[in-house]
Chains A and B, each alone.
Chain A
């Protein structure tokens, strides 16, 4: 089957140890996680994981269901690149003497729309956001000029193109159904 880069978005309760459980579903199936970002979501007490992995659709579906099965996971969905807006951020530390000597470096910084966040006589720090391709190609070009001292890249974060965070509806629906069931029980 066709392998693609899938982005999985997982919402969970904010509970210690869940990250392990989620990544274990990938590792058990020998799928490498390409990037992983975990943070508080816009909903209080709910954590959001953005995970990317190269795999086929059959496998990603099974992984989603196995992750969703974890007790404290609220929802898991997978997306292809066409279904999301995604972004990464990267930091580059360059040698200031090379930067000053080599005009091509400043040209690259402008072309790639990177932001200078620090300059001192030894090194300069740049920040750049964008797609994975954009960020790596900027790195590759800088590397050719021999000026990169350090480089770090964040995991991908993503927004879905569909308008609302589905987890909101999910939570509302879960609570409402439980209340309805309780009321029916009481009525009986």
Chain B
């Protein structure tokens, strides 16, 4: 017996989403998506729809949801401006490999190409920034398109998918049957692992005197945190983490030597140019990690574990590429490793860590006098959550400071816009994260610039009572740009000072409890108040205006040549 039933395309979308196990979506209605919203109303008890205040917020919320949970984040928006408002989030999800499905309304097929009201060529616009972008023109394509969208977004190297849903297809009826896609003949989500590459990688590591591992987000995406730990422990290899890989290895793990990159820790950066074997796992040698490629790890043999063949030799030429799912490949290589000890090599990191601690970290987190520092606020919040919270950041100095001074003890605990560096990402992403992991504390650190870029999402926080712990690190500047102006543009502060509103009044208008802290002596009580208040809270920390993020590899500089002061 067939279980076919005649329903509309809009109703089919609801059933298809439920068939995929979706329980949360972030969206905003409008003309071309009204039939879908009409159907959604009757499914609202299964499909929890979060009404955002701007479609960009919907995409970042879906990203935050996906990054915290590992599931696909879903957005539902209207055509035209609703659709174009999602572009930044889609591009962000693409470059940071985040599984999201954006479903946008579109004018009816008979209007396509005629510059109809609220028509934009969404597929054309989003093709370069999605894994797949598809226009649904007929109701009967809905089950297949949704199944394919979820399969593509979540398999292999994850990424965003756009479904552009023509209005006629929303209202036409057809015989619905649930559909699953688990094969696309032109798409190889996980490439085969060459067994020779496994042997060669193990051989290089077994012979290494000074191995260094670079941990990327791929480890979290591949759910290979345990495999990574076994891998580095067996061969006693120090490991540095990229910004997006920070929580793939607990901060206090014996072999964790800190954060890589422009504002990362001194030791792993310096040691990148001293190691004899460099092992990159699920990272893509971004320029913010490598600095000048011409002087990057030239002395080392390089092994690259990745799921995406297009990443191999893209930026850095490697000696061995281990393609495949790192959960499997790490295990396979670990099996061939000879247990080793690299006592001296590991000890050689300590003087650099100590130098950074004395010259940068201590003055940042325990200044003792003067205005509050960003770092001390971040560390105090982290410790008050027993380092168990999910960290969400915005972009700028606040991002680098929170990434550096937060501590990570659990998987999937950092949500930040890495590749695109999208100001305004933090607040909506944090809202999304609270729906993904309701049992965890979600803390978002933002600058005064970035908070205002999606300030409207305070409305979503208010309506949903989303328990977001919002920490505004207010320096009255577009601080990150100001720091560059100070360092490279002769302190010419061109349009970086900013007149700020009274954030306490803003919070009050939204009915969100809040506290402003100017004095060091008030900080810890305010943090306690924030964490003990049920629901959302805005903590404004008025921090040093002209603080700088250090250390720093100047743009185009070499990884082992970091500035400790400026």
Chain A interface residues (CB < 8 Å from chain B): 12-13, 17, 20-21, 24, 28, 58, 61-62, 65-66, 68-69, 71-74, 171, 174-175, 178
Contacts and interface: CB of A to CB of B under 8 A. Distances in A.
Contact of A65 (B131, B184, B309): B309
A74 B124 contact: no
B367 interface: no
Nearest to B123: A17
B183 interface: yes
Question: B-side binding surface: helix, strand, loop or mixed?
Answer: loop
B183 to A, nearest CB: 5
A13 B124 contact: no
B6 interface: no
A62 B309 CA distance: 10
B310 A20 contact: no
B359 interface: no
Contact of B186 (A20, A21, A72): A72
Interface residues on B, range: 20 to 34
A24 B129 CA distance: 11
Interface in B301-320: 308-310, 312-314
Contact of A20 (B127, B131, B184, B314): B127
A12 B309 contact: no
A67 to B, nearest CB: 9
Contacts, number: 44
A61 B128 CA distance: 19
Nearest to A12: B186
Given A61-B313, A62-B313, A65-B309, A71 B184 contact: yes
A65 B183 contact: no
Contacts of A68: 309-310
Contacts of A28: 128
Nearest to B311: A65
A73 B186 contact: yes
Contacts of A178: 183, 185
A66 B314 CA distance: 10
Given A12-B186, A69-B308, A71-B152, 12 more contacts: A13-B186, A17-B124, A21-B127, A24-B127, A24-B128, A28-B128, A62-B310, A65-B310, A69-B309, A69-B310, A71-B184, A174-B185
Contacts of B313: 58, 61-62
16 contacts: A17-B123, A17-B124, A20-B124, A21-B127, A24-B127, A58-B313, A62-B314, A65-B309, A65-B310, A65-B312, A66-B310, A69-B309, A69-B310, A74-B186, A171-B185, A174-B185
A73 B186 CA distance: 6
Nearest to A70: B186
A91 B313 CA distance: 42
A167 to B, nearest CB: 10
A118 to B, nearest CB: 37
